[in-house]
Structure 1
Amino acid sequence: MKDFLPVLKILLRFVVIYIVFVLLYQFYLNNYENDVVDPFTRWVAKQVAFLQDLFGFPTVLVDNLKLHSVLFQTSGKFTTRMVEGCNVISVAILFAAFIFAFYKGAKTFLYVLAGLVVLHILNVFRIALLNIIYLKYPQYEKVGHDYLFPAIIYGGVIILWLVWIQFFALKKIENA
């Protein structure tokens, strides 16, 4: 049993941290249940629209209270809609809980912050590219939405986890 104690401690830390983050996020979302979307989701949608404009795909954001989403009207055509689940926070919570489970001092906070920025950037590009696929290559909508783009975000999380474990969490302390 002693051999499993470190693993159980890490697992318990992960579960507790994950539950706390999820509860905090739900508390945040409860404040916006009567709005189209929460402020963070709207902020992500605005960044996606800016990026699409930059790529030459003029984009207008259209609120839809009935669907609790922001619709992307890209080059005059409705492509996708931004809902709370697309803002990467749920994935970020999973990422951060895992990293904090392997806590290694102040560098843990810096790594989580850097990882959250990377995930956010990946997410904005992911949504913009998905809208472009919906516009230019509609035959790939399902593959893009259901397989390719989740693989990008979850692949990013896994790579960040592996980097944390390999270079920070399990790094051996060298003798001087």
Structure 2
Amino acid sequence: MYAYYLKNTQQKESQFVCAPLTATVANQTAGVLNFFGYHTKVIQHSEEMSVKILIDDVYIARVIEGCNSVSIIILFISFIIAFPGPLKTTLIFSVFGSLIIYGINILRIAILSVLLYKYPDQQVFLHNLVFPAIIYGTTFSLWVVWVHRYSNYKR
């Protein structure tokens, strides 16, 4: 279903246009950064399927489809379904867990953008190690809570 969504919302022909959710994540990240006093704007990348994040008119980072957290939310929900609990609890935990992952992802991209702005020479370390650990660590922690507290496997 997600691949169908991407196929029908992204555009690659005459100009690049990201899926609306990817653009929303970039815009919400900019909103967080602007709230904290960073002059931030986002623009659709003209040469690739991504949205640029600019701080003080300096191109800092890009948000691609993989950055919108949908893939990890799908993985999160799949795990919850694989280790089921009561239906109502499963649904509630899936929704709130997904919202937590989505929110952490916005904060993660915002923090990464600020750190890349201030420490551009640390890009590889920050992007490849620190920030994946945040999103995957959050997801893993939610899984641990699910299995130990709510799933039928807790016994």
Considering the TM-score relative to the shorter chain, is it more than 0.5? yes
TM-score (normalised: structure 1): 0.81
Which deviates further from its counterpart, 144-153 or 95-104?
95-104
TM-score (normalised: structure 2): 0.92
Q: What displacement does 1:39 show? A: 0.8
| Number of the residue aligned with 2:4 | 27
Matched, 1:159 2:141: yes
Matched, 1:140 2:117: no
Whole-angstrom CA distance in 2 between matches of 1:33 and 1:79: 23
Pick the aligned partner of 2:112 from 108, 118, 130: 130
Once superposed, what is the RMSD of the aligned Cα atoms? Answer: 1.1
Matched, 1:168 2:150: yes
Pick the aligned partner of 1:76 from 52, 57, 70: 57
AA paired with 2:97? G
Report matched runs for 1:1-176 at 5 Å.
24-34=1-11, 35-104=16-85, 105-169=87-151, 170-172=153-155
Whole-angstrom CA distance in 2 between matches of 1:171 and 1:71: 44
Whole-angstrom CA distance in 1 between matches of 2:17 and 2:65: 10
List structure 1 runs of 4+ shifted beyond 3 angstroms: none
Larger Rg: 1
Structure 1 unaligned blocks of 5 or more: 1-23
Secondary structure in structure 1 of the residue aligned to 2:95: helix
| Number of the residue aligned with 1:21 | none
Structure 2 unaligned blocks of 5 or more: none
Q: What displacement does 1:66 show? A: 2.2
Q: What displacement does 1:33 show? A: 3.1
| Number of the residue aligned with 1:9 | none
AA paired with 1:76? D
